[in-house]
Amino acid sequence: MTPTLADYLLVSGILFTIGLTGVMLRRNIIIIFMGLELMLNASNLSLVAFSRYHLTAVGLPNYSGQVLVFFIITVAAAEVAVGLAIIVALYRARQTTHVEDLNSMKF
Amino acid sequence: MAASIPWIILFTPLVAAGLILLFGKYSKPLSAGLAIAAAGICCVLSWWLFGQPEATEPNQFYWIQISDLFSIPIGVTIDPLSQLMLVVVNTIAPIVFVYSLGYMAREKGYWRYFAGLSLFLFSMLGIVLADNFVMMFIFWELVGVSSYILIGHYFDRDSAAKASKQAFLVNRIGDFGFMLGILMLWAVTGTVVFRDLFTQIPLLESQGVYLVIACVLVFCGTIGKSAQFPLHVWLPNSMEGPTPVSSLLHAATMVAAGVYMLARFFPILDVVPPAREVIAWVGGLTCLFAALMATQQDDIKRILAYSTISQLGYMVLGVGVAPTWDIPMFHLFTHAFFKCLLFLCAGSVIVSMHHEQNIWKMGALKNKMPFTFICTIFGALALSGAGFGPIGFSGFYSKDLIIVWAVQNAPILGWIAALTAGITAFYTFRLLFVVFLGGPRSDAAKHASESPLVMVIPLMLLALPAMGAGWPFIERIFFHVVEPEHVPHFVHYVLFALFLGGLGLAWAFYARAEKDPVSIPLFAHRFYIDNVYDWMVKNIQGGLANLSNWADRWVVDLLVVQTPSKITWVCGYVLRFLQLGNIQAYAFFFAAGVVGLIYLLIAR
């Protein structure tokens, strides 16, 4: 049995939900960060799946989706570098990575 | 070369004023010398220019030019009218400047005074030379400014500060009308240059009522500047300035600018009889009322100020009834000399009385100040139009001419003007008798002495034209006056009888009076016009000020400014409770927002 587009999208949706749940519920900022990455990769997965299943007239995959994935991976790498740098700076300043302790920007 | 002479005449006084402002502080003779030299140069050049033919080519450059539709040139006009006015202004100005040497010798602000006089001369010459309405209006306002500076010369005196402010503000009312009139004319013809306006008279004539309104609005400028009823109140108060200023500005030249402007505008007025009727009535009533007010004043300069208003009324009446501009300008010409003379005589009296201006504190000055006395007699005879048949003083020729024209073209006004001539004789000789005859009424009067030569010589120089400026052979050099044809000869007898009557009444009441035997509060209080204006300013203007204050406070400040600011503040206050400081809450809001948006997109 070959997997259909719906199977890929289901997996992608599950991954996205796991990532979102992590972002929402976990308190450690590094875990939240990992959740974010998971959400990005879930969207990558669905993009690749769309690319594979929407063939062009001559039978080739639609490469636009795959190119977009490369862009997301590139940008995500840069984002990880910046994000981790911020977290390190934050830890040096506040000695914590717990988001509940980082609430001084409120009214 | 000849084309640049008017420009030299125009700008010499301005250069002098600038130099006096820069360096005059350090030397009294320098400031006076610069001013007198500038006036002298102007005088010589003006007389030279008078002999030149009328310039037919435009002598101008463009100040503002926006395509062909709108252009404002700055240019000079040389025609008999401006040549004449240049001679009048620039002959009187040096005499008054020299006289000022004596009058201001011990006063403060010497350089300020001479700089002001030079600036005034520049502005006045600008009006005279202007070849278009906008340039005239600019200099018109400059004259207002220099008048403001000079009336407020003793600015540490409250009354002087108020008088200068009043003069400026009252003039502004008239000037506003003047400006509207200019714009109305421009809207039809697309030009403000006199020369071009006059070529478009047929087009203007076809405008009907519009043109009448425009002309009356232009005349508003004259009402303000020449102190016609109802804007005459500033002129008597402007007597707070030094007496030579009153003499030059508020009697001889500046206030005549309004009449000059009407004369300049005459070709258009000529085709608008209704506007000339308005002008004639304003002039005639002004001349009567001002003369009545003059009969009951006690301040020597105020009497002369009201007489100036009255005489300006004659000139304006002349514009209204005469067939050419020569007739009002003839009166302007003679009036400039004799009124300047009378003011300078008053100044001479005031100086020797140690700045006492109440005529009831004077008396018996005829032996102590013989030259001033004789010159005042000349001035008084000229002002009251003494003369009969072919012989008379200057005022006789010009004033009678206006009166006979008025009798022919507007009989009611003619007889009002004739009656006013009698009143003029009465108040003029009242002044003369009270000041110079009778017994001394104060210590200052007992110890008065003749003024210095530098003041007496200008008096004598002016006494000659005061006597002779109207003689027919002199008149023919400057004017082309015509006598009306249908006036009965007895008018001249009536006028002479009125003169004698006024003189006799003045003699009967005032020759030996110790205090004023006549008391007419209505005249003494100037028909209560000043009080009416005070009331108007206090109630109407004050009420409007209160109203706009209310509107500013409650409509602008509260409704327009403060309400939106309060609303914004409250919204901000509410919204800042969303700032939880919890990053996951923000993430939740964000996700919920995205879900909401997707829902909206799909559900649509």
pLDDT in tens, A2-26: 888 999 999 999 999 999 999 888 8
Whether B523 and B296 have beta carbons less than 8 Å apart is answered as yes
Q: Which residues of B25-43 are buried (b: 16+ CB within 10 A; e: fewer)?
A: eeeeebbbbbbbebbbbbb
pLDDT > 70? residue B460: yes
| Among candidate residues B125, B154, B135, the one with its CA nearest the CA of residue B64 | B135
Structure tokens at B96: 């008054």
- Min distance B176 CA to chain A CA atoms (Å): 59
Residue type, B421: A
* Mean pLDDT confidence for B129-151: 90
Report yes or no: B582 at the A interface, CB cutoff 8 Å: yes
Q: How does pLDDT run across A42-71, given as a tens digit for each residue?
A: 999 999 999 988 888 888 888 888 999 999
* Mean pLDDT confidence for B505-526: 82
- Sort A92 into a burial class: Cβ within 10 Å, 0-12 / 13-18 / 19+: exposed
Interface of A with B (CB under 8 A): 20, 23-25, 32, 99-100, 102-107
Predicted local distance difference test score (pLDDT) of residue A10: 95
Identity of the residue in B577, B581, B584 whose CB atom sits nearest the CB atom of A105: B581
Are B577 and A20 a contacting pair at CB < 8 A? Answer: no
pLDDT > 70? residue B508: yes
What's this model's pTM, rounded to 2 decimal places? Answer: 0.78
pLDDT > 80? residue B390: no
Are A99 and B577 a contacting pair at CB < 8 A? Answer: no
- Min distance B573 CA to chain A CA atoms (Å): 10
Q: Which positions in chain B touch A33 (Cβ < 8 Å)?
A: none
Question: How high does pLDDT run on average in chain B?
Answer: 87
Q: Which positions in chain A touch B583 (Cβ < 8 Å)?
A: 32, 99, 102
Q: How many residues are given for chain B?
A: 604
Predicted local distance difference test score (pLDDT) of residue B393: 87
In chain B, % of residues over pLDDT 70: 100
Which residues sit opposite B64 in a β-bridge? B72
Identity of the residue in A99, A106, A107 whose CB atom sits nearest the CB atom of B584: A99
Confidence band for B588, pLDDT divided at 50, 70 and 90: confident
Interfacial B residues in 539-578 facing A (CB < 8 Å)? 576-577
Are A105 and B579 a contacting pair at CB < 8 A? Answer: yes
DSSP states along A1-54: ----HHHHHHHHHHHHHHHHHHHHH--BHHHHHHHHHHHHHHHHHHHHHHHHHS
Are A107 and B576 a contacting pair at CB < 8 A? Answer: yes
Identity of the residue in B579, B587, B591 whose CB atom sits nearest the CB atom of A106: B579
Residue whose structure tokens are 């977290």: A87
Identity of the residue in A23, A100, A102 whose CB atom sits nearest the CB atom of B587: A23
Predicted local distance difference test score (pLDDT) of residue A107: 62
pLDDT > 70? residue B110: yes
* Mean pLDDT confidence for B587-595: 90
Report yes or no: B473 at the A interface, CB cutoff 8 Å: no
Candidate from A81-85, B238-242, B277-281, B552-556 with smallest mean pLDDT: B238-242
Confidence band for B514, pLDDT divided at 50, 70 and 90: confident
| Chain A residue with the nearest C-alpha to that of B572 | A107
Structure tokens at A20: 């979102």
Structure tokens at B178: 């003047």
Q: Which positions in chain A touch B579 (Cβ < 8 Å)?
A: 105-107
pLDDT > 90? residue B244: no
Tell me what ipTM this predicted complex has: 0.80
Predicted local distance difference test score (pLDDT) of residue B1: 58
Identity of the residue in B577, B582, B588 whose CB atom sits nearest the CB atom of A107: B577
- Sort B315 into a burial class: Cβ within 10 Å, 0-12 / 13-18 / 19+: buried
Confidence band for B192, pLDDT divided at 50, 70 and 90: confident
pLDDT > 80? residue B306: yes
| Chain B residue with the nearest C-alpha to that of A104 | B581
Residue whose structure tokens are 């009441």: B509
Structure tokens at A3: 């997997």
Q: Which positions in chain B touch A20 (Cβ < 8 Å)?
A: 591
Structure tokens at B382: 């000229």
Mutate to test the interface with A, among B579, B584, B589 (most CBs of A within 10 A): B584
Whether B76 and B10 have beta carbons less than 8 Å apart is answered as yes
- Min distance A60 CA to chain B CA atoms (Å): 30
| Chain B residue with the nearest C-alpha to that of A25 | B584
Confidence band for B4, pLDDT divided at 50, 70 and 90: confident
- Min distance B552 CA to chain A CA atoms (Å): 36
Report yes or no: B583 at the A interface, CB cutoff 8 Å: yes
Label each residue of B304-365 as H, E or C: HHHHHHHHHHHHHHHHHHCCCCHHHHHHHHHHHHHHHHHHHHHHHHHHHCCCCCEHHHCCCC
* Mean pLDDT confidence for B580-604: 88
Q: Which residue has the higher pLDDT, B66 or A12?
A: A12
Confidence band for B356, pLDDT divided at 50, 70 and 90: confident
